[in-house]
Amino acid sequence: MTARKIIIDTDPGQDDAVAILLALASPEEIDLLGITAVAGNVPLPLTEKNARIICELAGRTDIKVFAGCDAPLSRPLVTAEHVHGKTGLDGPQMADPTMPLQDQHAVDFIIQTLRDEPSGTVTLVPIGPLTNIATAFQRAPDIIPRVQEIVLMGGAYFEVGNITPTAEFNIYVDPEAAKIVFDAGVPLVVMSLDVTHKALTTKARIDAFRAMGTKVGDMVAAWTDFFERFDMEKYGSEGAPLHDPCTVAYLIDPSLFTGRLINVEIETGSELTLGMTVADWWGITDRPKNALFIGDIDAERFYKLLAERLARL
């Protein structure tokens, strides 16, 4: 099996960090061409810095990190410090990164990579707001048919919203960008809250990270310890959903997940339901089936994969 060439577009975020580490720990399946940072959980200066901290933690200062858009296409930025803390990676103490940020803008990197690599061989893995991806599609429509697939974390249907009653955070921050991406015609795999809320951290699962006895294990345990307090309080759940790693886990082992090929549209017209992913789960309309909308996960096998792979770093 040849490794899948991917670009991770991210707004770290403790769960983004675990997704990036999982990708770096899986070279047989994942060829990470670059990491593009976007404003989301915290402002861009922090998300690009956090992406470099995560690469250095994994000993991968060779990974190219690019800064992208610092605000949504046409709205003020909404951030999530209440979930991720002021730094975006609250939990453990972390030193500032020393590896360089690339000079090239993230959007230009996305465009150039899709033009340079053979058509249909690059997968985009957005795990934050979709501003960078949408901007690249607007600026260079020729790259759209060259994208192999987009495997994204975002949206919700049966699980409803986490930042408003109807919207999930990544989509809500930049709904206009999400509409551009969902309408572009690129094959989509959507890891929504419907599935990520079934991938909960538990004490035993976090203890398994800590039991690794490695710096990565300790950091992931500290990040998930911090990250879970918000969701446990809000949902009264046993742990927090590890949203973003579901995308990379899907690329490593799609058998962990089940979903349905359906139409998903993005609400951009109503302030009340802004950013809602309107999923035609029961096929009521004849709108194009643009997304594999994932609804279920084998959580035990998912966490087993996570622990096995992260122990490699």
Q: Between 4 and 197, whose beta carbon lies closer to ligand RIB?
A: 197
Q: Between 172 and 209, whose beta carbon lies closer to ligand RIB?
A: 172
Q: Give the shortest CB-223-to-ligand RIB separation in angstroms.
A: 11
Query: What b/e sequence results for 45-74 when a residue is b if at least 16 CB atoms lie within 10 Å of its CB, and e otherwise?
Result: ebbbbbbbbbbbbbebeebbbbbbbebbbe
Q: Give the shortest CB-243-to-ligand RIB separation in angstroms.
A: 4
Residue 246: other Cβ atoms inside 10 A: 27
Q: Interior CA angle at 27 toward 11 and 191, to 5°? A: 45
Residue 161: other Cβ atoms inside 10 A: 19
Return all residues near 102 (Cβ < 8 A) that are at least 6 apart.
Answer: 34, 64, 65, 66, 67, 109
Residue span binding ligand RIB (CB under 6 A) among the ranges 12-20, 59-67, 140-148, 267-275: 12-20
Q: Give the shortest CB-208-to-ligand RIB separation in angstroms.
A: 21
Q: Does 18 bind ligand RIB (CB under 6 A)?
A: no
Judged by CB under 6 A, the number of residues near ligand RIB is: 15
Is 243 a catalytic site residue?
yes
Strands, sheet with 65-67, edge to edge from the N-terminal-most edge strand:
65-67, 30-37, 4-10, 122-126, 147-153, 188-191, 291-297, 257-262
Residue span binding ligand RIB (CB under 6 A) among the ranges 13-21, 248-256, 269-277, 286-294: 13-21
Judged on CB neighbours under 10 Å (0-12, 13-18, 19+), 270 is exposed
Residue 26: other Cβ atoms inside 10 A: 23
Return all residues near 145 (Cβ < 8 A) that are at least 6 apart.
Answer: 119, 185
Q: Give the shortest CB-173-to-ligand RIB separation in angstroms.
A: 8
Q: Does 293 bind ligand RIB (CB under 6 A)?
A: no
Q: Does 20 bind ligand RIB (CB under 6 A)?
A: no
- Picked from ligand RIB, Ca ion, none, the partner binding residue 169 (CB below 5 to 8 A depending on kind) is ligand RIB
Q: Does 162 bind ligand RIB (CB under 6 A)?
A: yes
Q: Give the shortest CB-153-to-Ca ion separation in angstroms.
A: 6
Q: Does 265 bind Ca ion (CB under 5 A)?
A: no
DSSP state of 199: S
User: Residue 9 pairs with which residues in a beta bridge?
Assistant: 36, 126
Q: Interior CA angle at 300 toward 298 and 302, to 5°? A: 65
Q: Does 275 bind ligand RIB (CB under 6 A)?
A: no
What whole-number distance in Å separates Cα of residue 20 and Cα of residue 51? Answer: 8
Q: Does 220 bind ligand RIB (CB under 6 A)?
A: no
Q: Does 155 bind Ca ion (CB under 5 A)?
A: no
Q: Does 167 bind ligand RIB (CB under 6 A)?
A: no
3-state class of 85 per DSSP?
A: coil
Q: Does 108 bind ligand RIB (CB under 6 A)?
A: no
Q: Does 41 bind ligand RIB (CB under 6 A)?
A: yes
Q: Give the shortest CB-14-to-ligand RIB separation in angstroms.
A: 8
Q: What tokens were used for 221?
A: 């345990």
Of 15, 149, 174, 225, the residue at the interface with ligand RIB (CB under 6 A) is: 15
Q: Between 230 and 281, whose beta carbon lies closer to ligand RIB?
A: 230
Residues with active-site annotation: 243
Which residues contact ligand RIB by CB under 6 A? 11, 13, 15-16, 40-41, 127-128, 153, 162, 168-170, 243-244
